[in-house]
Structure 1
């Protein structure tokens, strides 16, 4: 970057705390008011992070540039209102909440640039850690920090908390892999440390800060006891307080301050960009889950595996293993372990085969002397390795999922010298027993002496708060006084450990930290209460109580793992925020709070939480305890339905043939009217029909958007060969919708499938009487439960008949419909459940990949292909089969790294096109960088959504197979 060191004039402080409305008014001269959120629902949505604390911000601001950050700093000083920078909100100790202005960095600061052939990477703070690693995959590199939440946490938090993780230890954390930073001080000074002149200009513009930094450095160096303590404590993981090692590691003020920012938790400056040195991402891995008689035995094995070269050593006590026993893919033998058992996840990583073999041999030698409950089995199978790591990474949320009602789950992380780890783990278990936490669990990065402990805790009574306070006092005594360890190893100090920073560092070390904070932020406006906090009871203040709401979401601990894949994340609410707002509604109701607050939330909840939820279920795939927030949405949609709309839905389900005919007529009429009167007329007309529909039935009406498909023309193909090998049941979408503008109208999806089946010499049966059948998904997504049950029961009955009582497999050509049918069993009558169990329902992707493709003559290829795997294909685990099909047809197949739910969600894209536009913007931007010869998916409505988003014609992958096999 070019030289970017600037300074703003001196700021005059003004008394008074402005209201949310005044904040918007004052800030909107420099920041777009649409990015200054002051509605009650917006403020509540950001009141919680992944911790057990809660503060309601006065406003949420979403800046886009450093000039807006400087404006926020000026405003903060003028009005003495605190600022808190928030990236992903996965912070576990309350670092990402405030009752001042919350600055949401996750929305816009997402630039990624790989540099020096992958040796470095330039990142803005809103980038998710996994996105950075995805960008580095081509170079077999990755960023050093590897926290368990890397698929959700963002670079801003990784830097601000000096995150580490599974394998990075101390040497590859954010502090040690930092190349350069661009930061903005509260004074307005902006510095890019990569600039050759940055050091001298920093001293010129911030002479007092530089002078004070050198003074503190000299005081530390003169205090041999403190210097020795700093060096000793940073040989192990330690994020308690500020990174005092910077004063000893560096000599120049800019270098010192730059590294003080790592782990500063947003209390000193704003980090606008970072350049990180990357580390090798070794392709070869060998992994085992070793089971020991007890936790002490597992911890005692660490030294041997460390000497053998293990990259990761993750210890898990019996309680933590029990928390994940019932999860899909988890080995059944975990449930048979004795009460005191413990696990050790061991992984070796290498770039070359001979190196990995040497590691495995060393591991075998180490195992000889161990007492294991099961023989050690190292695996190189990526699928099995993924299961082992899912066990380890899912423990914290899993414990939270089974906690008692009205309690929360909280996790802390400590570090002790590795030789003391086994004893420290046993002492922690003793504290669980002493303070009444029978379900507490212990796991962690054993190689680094880093233990995490999780307990479930209520904060609804004075007794519960006192229980936690007494427990924490004993934890502090154990870690600091008995083992001279770190109260925070890698999660940042936060609110929970701020009162104990002096206990760990001593009076002199804490004085240095207090003075540092005072020098840089004299008014204590940057994330106050975090790191430096004189209140000895800060850790039991501003606690989050957890009201009981719906069973669908009660087990949520608000970790935020679900947010990055949610299609509405950049327009309304994420799954976590939906739950946070729902809990606030219940909290207000339980507390008999002012009616105005409840009314404001209740007014905005339908659009923000329900209308713009795609109900795609991807949140469940990312959630460690598989919470599908879409179920909550459908529950509330059902409650909202009027009696009239329910009756109409049930009628439509029983007479779906009329819906098909009406839809084709409506599409034909719409295209005719658009041709006669123009697109604006159709937009106005459908807007009027939407208002009428809302008034009469409470339900929305389709909006006329671009593009709109034509109605399907011609009769449904029929075929009943005597020796059919499968039943083909085209979805109602395929039966209703024809070509998009610019798409050839001669070959429908149905005809394309018939063509390729014929070329592969496969005979398909297309049943007569298909009209009027539906999988029920359109009704289910809208919360019309009865209508859904009517539709799906009728469909299963017919499929059973058409398939000769399940003798023939059934092929469905639209992935969402396939998924809806495959998961329909709980909605069936007892008789139809028996029939369902005999059916073999296949998505056309599965059928084409396994039965058509091996016999299909490929006579040509398409040079370049882009794919959009739909949500249902991802949930069914068949997206890889779609990629395999495309790779048989093209040597250049692209699945965008930002591919996700398009949010068309059946007809949601016709009802709320703004949702689809928001959900697809990142994927569309990525696709715009390179042109492709064909764009394909496996759902007609998703193809419409992607065509709209990219301006490229998306079609069913069946047309790709038809093209490459056409004689």
Structure 2
């Protein structure tokens, strides 16, 4: 079937918003975290089991391969395709909690992080906890049998899943938790059931095979299929369920799963223990297995060196000798006495092993977080400092406790001899599971050959010399498929091939993954990694950024923007004027790449290598701004006072008209103007603010001559459009409320002179007008230094995005505070709070999140209201300065979960006037500054 015919036939059975056949979508959606690149012929987004069945029957009938994709965080090439890629949509993003959290059912499209947030209120959590848990989705976690640092084999997906719903290649459905479904499936699928029964017999009646399987699965092992299912269970349905775990989408589609959750003990302690070498640290593992240990995380000397110069790292890291290693030991309990006993037992069990420093546990939260920051920063730092053009490849292997010391010593020697002496090694040593990075230049033929040689030597070392696992938790994929038979031997590998044929006789589901006869597949279809832009060149395309992106369900995610830009930069490399070629192609995809990017910077927080994709988009805007655009920006920058004055008057007019004709009629009219203007006119709604009143004074004195002083900078937004909108009980604007709270707390308030022309410059910066932004920053800097007496007085700003930009650009002497932060840090003790009997919702803006103000926002809100709700699934609101006026679809997509998650809250509060517009629109509740609530609830 031709690609054109395929697209036509898919269009007959799926709606246009579910089917992606354009080049950009196929490239970007076809990307995962691995080192391979295949571009699908089509991407289909499914939102229900019925749609999955429809697609699988189509593919099965036409013999067209299909691959499933959830979060795309897989590292071994499991979720890429050159055929049809099926993407799990929001219809699979659901949860049902039962037995007070002891069991929980999750849709395959829900992230592990979201699942754990839901379970946290029950003091429960998922068993599996991969490093990607915040971004990896339930379907992917199960399909890779992911585990992670704290749970190992005992609490992985294989051992904690109670039941699941499976859709097979022929479209049949099995609910393993429903007795009627089990009976019906057995009756309707005699061939598959017969094959499973025979596989079970062949595995259990051959004692050599049975013994080998049992022995291999004493270790973490995700290399090949989970053939332990064949010997652990007798019932064919139970075998099918457990074979699905770790099957990487090659046997069927898991639409949902019910987990037995794990208790999350509240009290935790940790110890960072330093050893002379890898052999010594390995001796600690067997004793630790007899203790109550939550985690035992290895860090070799290269790993510690990668983080030792970072701010906040323990000083002793720099003094460790060459070859040293560290073990981060974690334990937890429900009460202090038990925790103390556990700590004491661990110290006693390890007393015979020589350490560089005494073993000392801490329960101090600061130290606890500091030690885990060391551990969590390893891969980040190593990947961020890798050479240009290189890929960041993470391998993971496992060895028995008895062989661990020798195996790790040999592994380090192999890395050095193979030219990867800079490799960072870390791992979950309680399970003998070790990760390491190598950074080959996969653009180079010679480097690919070197990597190939290394992989063959690694398989020899792990399998032949030390009888270990080639893959412990990252899955087989294409990366290790050629080595599965080497690890398992021909007899058990034959069982695996029979499993694939039984489930998928026409090899339609994710062909080439796990079972692959091509011995070179692991070095084929490698991603090209061009020098695209220094802002993004360190990207490893892991996808951790995607979960926080407001445009993820609308256009592109940060990872996808980088993939698209890299492709453009690579294809333009031969052009004489490369930059012009790049900009030309960028303009062609401006809407998904640029216009719907909120540039909020949250992706930089989620990114393992600290890449803020918004900075790339801002640079592109700067490069594309022409003379006319700069002239307009210059005019605005020079006329802030008359501009804000005009907005104050004009923006109140629609509200005045609405009081006569009704808000519904006014909104319909405004929507018509917006559509007619096609991007020229902003969209007005009833939640658009009215104008503020002009601030006439610069000093607001207090009766007490000894009263403290504060500088208040009302942002240009709140000076112009800080007034109330639909749903506000109050008639005062935000600056008036801010002054009321400050003066109520006994402060003398100073407002900078020439306030009407001041602007922090953020609006110019976000649109790529760098010169104008710097000009406004300098003007504000001078005014605030003067008003604060060169930084002597604190300065409070009433817009958190503006405040963050000020912190990033203004004089370090200035003590700058967000409105909520200033209330929390300075006013709580000076005000009398009375809780209002209301349920409220609060939203932490992107800037507040980056400044780590969430807890302060919640605490201040909790002083004012009986119940405070923080929606779990809402990150950036997507309003993005003025994007919400011109691209309301971005705001709507970002806040699609909001209405359900505020749980009948009657009021909403935040700390950015523009963000509050979009929050109000998408919740139906009038959001306003938290200052309003503080003013109402204090004396």
Measured after TM superposition, the shift of residue 217 of structure 1 is 1.1
Q: Which residue of the partner structure matches residue 488 of structure 1?
A: 471
Structural mapping, 1:881-896, within 5 Å? 881-896=856-871
Measured after TM superposition, the shift of residue 720 of structure 1 is 4.4
Structural mapping, 1:681-830, within 5 Å? 681-689=669-677, 701-716=681-696, 718-721=698-701, 724-737=708-721, 738-825=723-810
Residues 1:356 and 2:339 are matched in the alignment:
yes
- For structure 1, the 5+ residue unaligned runs are 1-15, 694-700, 826-835
Q: 1:47–1:98: 8 Å Cα contact kept in structure 2?
A: yes
Q: Which residue of the partner structure matches residue 960 of structure 1?
A: 933
Q: 1:671–1:710: 8 Å Cα contact kept in structure 2?
A: yes
Aligned residue among 143, 148, 151 for 1:168: 151
- How many angstroms apart in 2 are the aligned matches of 1:640 and 1:600? 9
Q: Which piece of structure 1 moves more, 525-534 or 380-389? A: 380-389
Q: Which residue of the partner structure matches residue 938 of structure 1?
A: 911
Aligned residue among 600, 605, 620 for 1:636: 620
Note the aligned Cα RMSD (angstroms).
2.1
In structure 2, the CA distance between the partners of 1:55 and 1:860, relative to structure 1 (3 Å rule), is closer
Residues 1:651 and 2:635 are matched in the alignment:
yes
Q: Which piece of structure 1 moves more, 76-85 or 299-308? A: 299-308
In structure 2, the CA distance between the partners of 1:784 and 1:362, relative to structure 1 (3 Å rule), is same
Q: Which residue of the partner structure matches residue 324 of structure 1?
A: 307
Measured after TM superposition, the shift of residue 127 of structure 1 is 0.9
Q: Which residue of the partner structure matches residue 527 of structure 2?
A: 544
In structure 2, the CA distance between the partners of 1:101 and 1:604, relative to structure 1 (3 Å rule), is farther
- How many angstroms apart in 2 are the aligned matches of 1:80 and 1:196? 32
Q: Which piece of structure 1 moves more, 353-362 or 655-664? A: 655-664
- How many angstroms apart in 2 are the aligned matches of 1:934 and 1:209? 56
Residues 1:626 and 2:626 are matched in the alignment:
no
Q: Deviations over 1:488-531 (max 9, x none)?
A: 11111111100011001100101111111112212211111110
Residues 1:664 and 2:664 are matched in the alignment:
no
Q: 2:88–2:109: 8 Å Cα contact kept in structure 1?
A: yes
Measured after TM superposition, the shift of residue 745 of structure 1 is 5.0
Q: 2:440–2:447: 8 Å Cα contact kept in structure 1?
A: yes
Q: Which residue of the partner structure matches residue 439 of structure 1?
A: 422
Residues 1:876 and 2:851 are matched in the alignment:
yes
Residues 1:310 and 2:293 are matched in the alignment:
yes
- How many angstroms apart in 2 are the aligned matches of 1:598 and 1:719? 52
Tell me the secondary structure at the aligned position of residue 421 of structure 2. coil
Q: 1:312–1:447: 8 Å Cα contact kept in structure 2?
A: yes
Q: Deviations over 1:558-594 (max 9, x none)?
A: 111111111111111111111111111112223679x
Tell me the secondary structure at the aligned position of residue 866 of structure 2. coil
**TM-score computed with the length of structure 2 as normaliser:** 0.95
Q: 1:62–1:107: 8 Å Cα contact kept in structure 2?
A: no
Tell me the secondary structure at the aligned position of residue 759 of structure 2. coil
In structure 2, the CA distance between the partners of 1:670 and 1:24, relative to structure 1 (3 Å rule), is farther
In structure 2, the CA distance between the partners of 1:860 and 1:104, relative to structure 1 (3 Å rule), is closer
Q: Which residue of the partner structure matches residue 101 of structure 1?
A: 84
Q: Which residue of the partner structure matches residue 903 of structure 1?
A: 878
Q: Which piece of structure 1 moves more, 472-481 or 319-328? A: 319-328
Measured after TM superposition, the shift of residue 149 of structure 1 is 1.3
Residues 1:613 and 2:588 are matched in the alignment:
no
Q: Which residue of the partner structure matches residue 233 of structure 1?
A: 216
Q: Which residue of the partner structure matches residue 168 of structure 2?
A: 185
Measured after TM superposition, the shift of residue 202 of structure 1 is 1.5
In structure 2, the CA distance between the partners of 1:775 and 1:908, relative to structure 1 (3 Å rule), is same
Q: Which residue of the partner structure matches residue 80 of structure 1?
A: 63
Q: Which piece of structure 1 moves more, 76-85 or 64-73? A: 76-85
In structure 2, the CA distance between the partners of 1:330 and 1:559, relative to structure 1 (3 Å rule), is farther
Q: Which residue of the partner structure matches residue 950 of structure 1?
A: 923
Q: 1:298–1:344: 8 Å Cα contact kept in structure 2?
A: yes
In structure 2, the CA distance between the partners of 1:706 and 1:56, relative to structure 1 (3 Å rule), is farther
Q: Which residue of the partner structure matches residue 844 of structure 1?
A: 819
Structural mapping, 1:197-236, within 5 Å? 197-236=180-219
Q: Which residue of the partner structure matches residue 503 of structure 2?
A: 520
Measured after TM superposition, the shift of residue 649 of structure 1 is 1.1
In structure 2, the CA distance between the partners of 1:548 and 1:441, relative to structure 1 (3 Å rule), is same
Q: 2:569–2:582: 8 Å Cα contact kept in structure 1?
A: no
- How many angstroms apart in 2 are the aligned matches of 1:447 and 1:205? 44
- How many angstroms apart in 2 are the aligned matches of 1:23 and 1:269? 22
Structural mapping, 1:205-604, within 5 Å? 205-590=188-573, 602=586, 604=588
In structure 2, the CA distance between the partners of 1:673 and 1:864, relative to structure 1 (3 Å rule), is closer
Measured after TM superposition, the shift of residue 598 of structure 1 is 8.8
Q: 1:870–1:901: 8 Å Cα contact kept in structure 2?
A: yes
Tell me the secondary structure at the aligned position of residue 821 of structure 2. helix
Q: Deviations over 1:427-471 (max 9, x none)?
A: 111111211112111111101011111100111222111101100
Measured after TM superposition, the shift of residue 688 of structure 1 is 4.8
